[in-house]
């Protein structure tokens, strides 16, 4: 009986350790995504998205809301950096429904674009097309 209890405790501890390692690994995998978006490196961004999808079985919309680049989302960061290629890729990879939902600050992308006077941006045009 004591062996079963010890084995159960060891298995529980091992599974917690694996879960923490997986969380650290995904954070490491996404560490430089803001830099990639700001640099407008579409090829590297596509590679990063593909790697996370294959290694962690996570789509962009699964981790998009958890990433903040100086307080802005990835699409907002792309718009502020005038990173048209990366921003367009992000908009096209996101589900249409997620694009119309409010972000962490409670504003939708369209409202934020209007507030910041970015309606003439090529990324804003792609967002408008997708809506």
- pLDDT for 32-72, tens place per residue? 888 888 888 888 989 988 888 888 888 888 888 888 888 88
Tally of domains in the chain: 2
Q: With 0.85 as the threshold, say if the pTM is over it.
A: no
Average pLDDT for 12-17: 46
Is it the case that residue 21 has pLDDT exceeding 70?
A: no
Domain that holds residue 18: 1-29
Q: Which of 22-31, 37-46, 105-114 has the highest mean pLDDT?
A: 37-46
Distance CA 69, CA 51 (A): 20
Same domain, 79 and 111: yes
Same domain, 73 and 96: yes
Q: Residue 5's pLDDT is what?
A: 45
Same domain, 53 and 9: no
125 to each of 43, 68, 109, 110, 118, how far by Cα in Å? 21, 23, 12, 10, 10
Same domain, 14 and 51: no
């Amino acid at each position: 009986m004591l062996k079963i209890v010890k084995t159960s405790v060891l298995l529980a501890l091992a599974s917690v350790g694996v879960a923490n390692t997986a969380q650290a690994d995904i954070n490491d995998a996404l560490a430089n995504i803001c830099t990639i978006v700001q640099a407008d490196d579409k090829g590297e961004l596509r590679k990063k998205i593909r790697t996370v999808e294959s290694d962690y079985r996570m789509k962009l919309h699964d981790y998009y809301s958890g990433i903040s680049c100086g307080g802005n989302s990835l699409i907002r960061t792309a718009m502020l950096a005038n990173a048209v290629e990366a921003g367009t890729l992000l908009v096209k990879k996101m589900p249409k429904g997620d694009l119309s939902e409010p972000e962490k600050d409670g504003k939708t992308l369209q409202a934020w674009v209007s507030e910041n006077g970015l309606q003439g941006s090529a990324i804003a045009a792609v967002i408008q097309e997708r809506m």
